Amino acid sequence: MKYDFDLFTIGGGSGGVRASRVSASLGARVAIAESGRFGGTCVNVGCIPKKLFAYAAHFREEFAVAESFGWTAAEPRFEWTTLLANKEREIARLNGVYERLLADAGATILRDRARVLDPHTVELDGRRHSARHILIATGSWPTVPPIAGHELAITSNEAFFLERLPERALVVGGAYVAVEFASIFNGLGVKTTLAYRGARLLRGFDHELGERLAEEMADKGVSVHLNANPARIAPGLQVAFDDGSSERYDLVLFGTGRKPNTAELGLEAAGVRLDAEGAVVVDRYSKTSVDSIWAIGDVTNRMNLTPVATAEGTWLARTLFGGEPTPVDHENVPTAVFADPNLATVGLSEEQARSRFGAVDVYRTSFRALKHTLGPGRERIFVKLVVDAASQRVVGAHMIGPDAGEIIQGVAIAVKMGATKAQFDATIGIHPTAAEEFVTLREKESR
C-alpha cells in the first residue's frame, strides 16, 4: 500500500522534533503536526525558561558574595518585567530554530492538532493523512490535586508568565518543579514556603540528597514544611493544611506532578494500550500495542527528561529508517535539579545499590566551598560515591553544590563506562575545585 508519509509525528516537542528530523535525514517522508509552539515543555514552559529564571535568582547571593572579595556597588534592584521580556525573546528564537531544523530536513510541517483514526490514518481539521508509521510525542501536562479551591492556584505553566512577583508564595510539592520554583521565588526576594506531604524531598533520589537539600534551602531562607499538605484553598488564598494550620499567601503554585497528554488523541480506539495513568505503554523499541504506532518522551512516562526524549527520538529513527534496530537505554542517565543549591546525580542511589548488589562501599564528604570562606556564606557542598563492593565499580555519583549539573555530566561518562573506584582514584584532580572531590575520596563509610 502507498502511504502519504512514512512517518507522521504528533507533537513538536524535543522528542518529536528529533525523531522527525533524523528520520527525514535518513530519507523518510515525514510530517509533523503541532498546534502550539515548537519545542514542547522544555523550550516553552520547562527547562530553558526555568534555567534562565534560576540564573536570575542566583544573582542576589552573588552580589552579597562579591562584597567579601572587595567589590562595592549600589544596592542591586531586580526588574521582573525585564527578565520576562528577555526570556520571551530567547524562547521565540528557539521556536524558530526548531521549525527551521525540520524544514531544512525536508519534513512537512502541519500547524494543527492531530488525532489518530486507525493504525495508519491521522486526521487534522477534517483532513486525513495516511502513514506507514505514526509517532505519538505529545508530552505531559501539570496536574493539580482535586482539593477545594484548587482552581485558585497555578502550575509551573502559568508561573512563566506572571505579570508581577508575589510578596508571599506557597509552592506545593517535593520534586523537580517544586524545589526549583521555591528556590527561584526565594532568590528573587519572595517570602517563600515549600510544603511537601512526604518526610523527605526528592523521593526516588538518594535519601541524603533530599535531606541535605532541604537543609540548604532552609538556610537560604525558604520555609520548608515537610509532612504538610494543603487541604483546601479559600478565596484570598487562605490555605488550610491537613495538620490544622492555616496561612494566607499571594500565590499558590502546585508542583505536584504531570500527566501524559493522551486525552482525545483517539489512541484507545485505534487499539493503543494505555496504563492507569494514561501513559502509552511501549516496548524497549518504543513500539505500542499497535505495530505501526510508536511513542516516545513524557507521554510514555518512562523517564521524563528532555535529553531522554531526544535520545529516544534518535533511536526510533534508526530503528525505523536506519536499518539499525536500537532499543531504548535508560541505564545511568544523569540528571540535575536546578534548585539553590544545584543538585545532580547519575546511577544508583545508595538504597538502590544495596538492593541490587547487597554489599556496597559508600564514600562521602561535605565542605564549605572556597568561594564562601572569605564571607558569611554557610552553603556546604556535598559529594557522594556509591560503589559495588564486589566489582568495585562506581554505580552512583551524587552532588549538591554550585554547577553540580556541569560536574556530574563529566562524571556520568565514567559511570556509564563502568569505571572502578581505583580508576577514579588514579585520576588526578584539578585543584582547587569542588569536582576534584570525586577523585580524592579515600575514607570508606564504616557501616
Measured CA to CA, the distance from residue 439 to residue 424 in angstroms comes to: 5
Query: Count of CB atoms within 10 A of residue 73's CB?
Result: 8
Residue with grid cell 518529536, as numbered in its chain:
16
350's grid cell: 545508595
Measured CA to CA, the distance from residue 31 to residue 37 in angstroms comes to: 16
| 119, 3 Cβ separation under 8 angstroms | no
Measured CA to CA, the distance from residue 72 to residue 160 in angstroms comes to: 32
Query: Count of CB atoms within 10 A of residue 239's CB?
Result: 24
| 256, 172 Cβ separation under 8 angstroms | yes
The set of residues, in sequence order, having a beta carbon less than 8 Å from that of 30 and lying 6+ positions away, is 5, 6, 7, 8, 9, 20, 23, 24, 105, 106, 107, 108
The set of residues, in sequence order, having a beta carbon less than 8 Å from that of 114 and lying 6+ positions away, is 8, 10, 33, 122, 123, 124
Q: Report the SS3 class of residue 267.
A: coil
Q: Report the SS3 class of residue 441.
A: coil
Q: Report the SS3 class of residue 115.
A: strand
| 63, 194 Cβ separation under 8 angstroms | no
Measured CA to CA, the distance from residue 447 to residue 230 in angstroms comes to: 39
- State yes or no: is 431 an active-site residue: yes
For 97, which DSSP code?
H
| 54, 180 Cβ separation under 8 angstroms | yes
Nearest to 195 by CA among 223, 219, 172: 172
Measured CA to CA, the distance from residue 384 to residue 208 in angstroms comes to: 9
Between strands 293-295 and 127-136, the pairing is parallel
Positions marked catalytic = 431
